[in-house]
Structure 1
Amino acid sequence: MNKVGGYIISFLSFELLLVLFLNAGRYKADPRFAWVPVDLTALFLVLSVAAGVYILIYKDLFFVLDSLKLNFIYFIFVGYVLLSFFWTPGEIYASEKAMYIATLVYWPLLATSIIVSSRTERLKRFIILVVFFSFWIAVETFIAYQQSGGRMVTALGGNYLGIGRVLGPAVLIILGYILYYSRSTILKIAGLGIIGFLLYLLFVVGGRGPLLATLIPISIPLLASIKFESASVIWIKRSFTFLAAVVVLSIASMVYLMNQEDAPATLRRLELLLESNDGMGGSAQARFSYYVTTLELWIKQPLIGYGVGSWPVLVEGTDARGYPHNIILETLFEFGIAGMLIMTTLFVYALRNLGSWKVIQSNPYRLIILMVFANALLNAFVSGDIPDNRFLFATLGLMMLPKTKEDQVEE
């Protein structure tokens, strides 16, 4: 009973509050939570910050100086965002977006870099809770899909893109667990079953970007399973065969299903992108037009950009939420080359702390973090704006996990 109680206490943790905050947009519109008198994003932000402050004051905390440097780089970016108020044409949305960048986006980076990544047990708990949350969304999505008659799915008040962005990280985390940690055949089979279930949902919910953002990072452990011992010796791990089989099976399944009359919604929409005519689909055409317009305007003011919240004003003619659905183009347009350099420095610094490829190959946690980061980054290339991509910045903080003696030896 004490052991069960320990698991419950461990589950009800700072990491749980952080996961619920990061994903509040995926469930807060659900009618079942209408009784909550406050916005759930704000609620879990306050609760997680309060828990984080408690940990910083009353708990022993070990973090490396690199974590503070990472936060300082982001602090510089926030300062530049605020500075851009001097030249932005935006007012209402500009103020809202700047506030989100300084709070909703900064807190995940701060929390994961200072607290979550400081101890292996916290990192492990955070990863497990991400999977638990994803599985809950998956069950809700499956029920909604059964009731939708095969159409694109919305569940818990969230759309298909949001659903896909939640399911993808869970697939990659479970895959990492099967490859590097599980010693039980039963658990491996169960894990494969859950991966199959999640991939099935990614096939049917309708989100092309989230599906590709889940499948592409599988190449990371595939490459990690190959080591060049010398110029003439290549060491291939046993995981290579398993991963290669997963990739081949996934591609074969996609090709087969795409050729069926009742192909899943995601694959039907993906097939449109592969056609040579103009049938890429409305959302893809809209994004392409956004990209072209964004680049054309950015070239006219490339160094400092047009300022925070300027994109919807200059492109759509409205001072309301709007973005080009690509984090690079968004950063260049609103903050110019100067802002892009700060953002690039942030990402490069985090990746350098994650370690060299040799270090990442030898550390399963680092491999899993890299896969999840790649998933979040690929999603940020095709949907959402900077405030929508809070999970991406959380993965940068996870990269601050301290190096072990084995990591240092590898380097």
Structure 2
Amino acid sequence: MALLINAGQLKATPLLAWVPVDLTLLLGVAVAAWASLLLFTRPTRLNSSAPFFVLLLAFSVASFDAPGSDYGRTKVLTLFTVTAVLMLSPFVLFRERSHLDYFFSATLGIASIAAVLTITNPASVADYSTRVTFDGTNTIGAARVLGAGIVVCVIRAVWSTTTVRRRLTYGALTPVLLWGLLSTGSRGPFIATALAVLAVCAVALATRRSNGWMIAVLTAVIFGGAAIAERASTDGTSRIFGFFEGTRDTSTRARNELWRGTAEAIPDHPLGVGVGSFSDTQVLWGTYTYPHNVILEVFAEAGWTTGILLCLIVAIGTVRSIRGANVAGDFLTLGLLVFALVNAMVSGDINSNRLVWVMLAIAMMGPRGGHLRAQAPESRLGGARTQRHPPVVHRGANPSI
């Protein structure tokens, strides 16, 4: 699953370029086949997946008229194949908490490989810029892979069930991933990473699932990141931190105009303009093929009903991920969900934001919304533990009763 999510960034790298078949197609078929096999051999209830079936049905209605562009036709095909697999397969593949742990570990492993490729064999964006990525992808794609790894590292470093050795490993790996992320100069994934960590901190503090470990790790990350940014006077760091200083380049201004124009046009198209037909309305949105915001994209292309349904799924998934963090100590689902949602609000279309569909599906299977086996209540962020008391046996009572 983790490989399928990041296949677009990895399939052109020297490590996987030798694969004779398109990696996305190969992994999509493999994930769908494995999920189908598990579904038939180990039947399970899929109640939590109902909203996604309804969402796909709404998309199918909006896709009735075939779009005229090659991009539009490819988008519709990808939506009902790869993206549909990403929406539905988590309900079958992630039945146990251990399955989720493997997924998160694979996400971190891919991010580590991306960091090594970015630092040791960087691919320059342009001759006049020091912004880099790893071979086979762009800066946004590389930064998303690295940002997801940082979220996993930071959250796992403060788990009470994590050993000290692993905490130190995560702590040592985080600056490496951060260095790679800053080198790309991609602002969206950097902001998404920061907001994901802050969201986890806020929920942890509100639910009293934090202590000195959390403060120490986050302080080290903050000051370590500041030191890296200060010493690395590159185009990447200048572009990222210049945004917080008020600098607005052509990309930022174009997105603002695109979002404003899309929001103003949505009321005139209650049924949408059709999935993949965003670029056909040249008068409204110019030459862009999508608005770089999933919510606006769904409202504009699939109509108000589908847009409202997506907003409900996002709201329910967010609430259940917060509940999962509170009840079961599952902060990784919350952190990666926030990370994916922020990215989806500033870049990419409904098919390129693969992580957001997987994390929404996982969030919908929260402690009270699905079949995931919750962690023990004493597994708390930052090492806070619930004291366990032995059972009280009254004097004169038979202890075997």
Same fold (TM over 0.5): yes
Structure 1 position 386, deviation (Å): 0.2
Is it true that 1:41 corresponds to 2:44 in the alignment?
no
Give 1:393's aligned residue.
Answer: 357
Helix, strand or coil: the match of 2:347? Answer: coil
Structure 1 position 294, deviation (Å): 1.4
Instruction: Provide the rounded CA distance (Å) in 2 between the counterparts of 1:87 and 1:243.
Output: 52
Structure 1 position 243, deviation (Å): 4.9
Instruction: Provide the rounded CA distance (Å) in 1 between the counterparts of 2:192 and 2:109.
Output: 20
Structure 1 position 101, deviation (Å): 1.6
* Structure 1, gaps ≥5 residues long: 1-17, 229-233
Q: 1:362 to 1:31 in 2, by over 3 A?
A: same
Structure 1 position 387, deviation (Å): 0.3
Give 1:13's aligned residue.
Answer: none
Structure 1 position 293, deviation (Å): 2.2
1:103-129 deviation line (CA, Å, top 9, x unaligned)? 21121221212221x112211111111
Give 2:317's aligned residue.
Answer: 350
What aligned pairs does 1:88-103 form with structure 2 within 5 A after superposition?
90=68, 92-103=70-81
Give 1:361's aligned residue.
Answer: 326
1:282-317 deviation line (CA, Å, top 9, x unaligned)? 22122122112212322322x222121121111389
* Counterpart among 13, 38, 41 of residue 55 in structure 1: 38
Instruction: Provide the rounded CA distance (Å) in 1 between the counterparts of 2:288 and 2:8.
Output: 15
Query: Root-mean-square deviation (CA), in Å?
Result: 3.1
Give 1:120's aligned residue.
Answer: 97
Identity level (%)? 24
Amino acid at match of 1:360: A
* Counterpart among 268, 272, 281 of residue 314 in structure 1: 281
What is the aligned residue count? 370
Q: 1:88 to 1:183 in 2, by over 3 A?
A: closer
Question: Are the aligned partners of 1:112 and 1:394 in contact in 2 as well (CA < 8 Å)?
Answer: yes
Give 1:220's aligned residue.
Answer: 199
Structure 1 position 340, deviation (Å): 0.9
Superposition TM-score, scaled by structure 1 size: 0.80
* Counterpart among 30, 43, 48 of residue 13 in structure 2: 30
Is it true that 1:337 corresponds to 2:316 in the alignment?
no
Amino acid at match of 2:144: R
* Structure 2, gaps ≥5 residues long: 367-371, 378-401
Is it true that 1:382 corresponds to 2:346 in the alignment?
yes
Is it true that 1:107 corresponds to 2:85 in the alignment?
yes
Q: 1:23 to 1:188 in 2, by over 3 A?
A: same
Give 1:293's aligned residue.
Answer: 261
Instruction: Provide the rounded CA distance (Å) in 1 between the counterparts of 2:263 and 2:275.
Output: 16
Structure 1 position 222, deviation (Å): 1.9
Q: Which has the higher helix share?
A: 1
Helix, strand or coil: the match of 1:154? Answer: strand
Q: 1:184 to 1:80 in 2, by over 3 A?
A: closer
Give 1:267's aligned residue.
Answer: 237
What aligned pairs does 1:229-248 form with structure 2 within 5 A after superposition?
237-246=211-220, 248=222
Instruction: Provide the rounded CA distance (Å) in 2 between the counterparts of 1:236 and 1:282.
Output: 41
Instruction: Provide the rounded CA distance (Å) in 2 between the counterparts of 1:293 and 1:317.
Output: 7
Instruction: Provide the rounded CA distance (Å) in 2 between the counterparts of 1:244 and 1:35.
Output: 40
Structure 1 position 337, deviation (Å): 1.8
Question: Are the aligned partners of 1:226 and 1:240 in contact in 2 as well (CA < 8 Å)?
Answer: no
Question: Are the aligned partners of 2:63 and 2:76 in contact in 1 as well (CA < 8 Å)?
Answer: no
Instruction: Provide the rounded CA distance (Å) in 1 between the counterparts of 2:100 and 2:198.
Output: 23
Amino acid at match of 1:136: I
Instruction: Provide the rounded CA distance (Å) in 2 between the counterparts of 1:361 and 1:324.
Output: 35
Question: Are the aligned partners of 1:92 and 1:319 in contact in 2 as well (CA < 8 Å)?
Answer: no
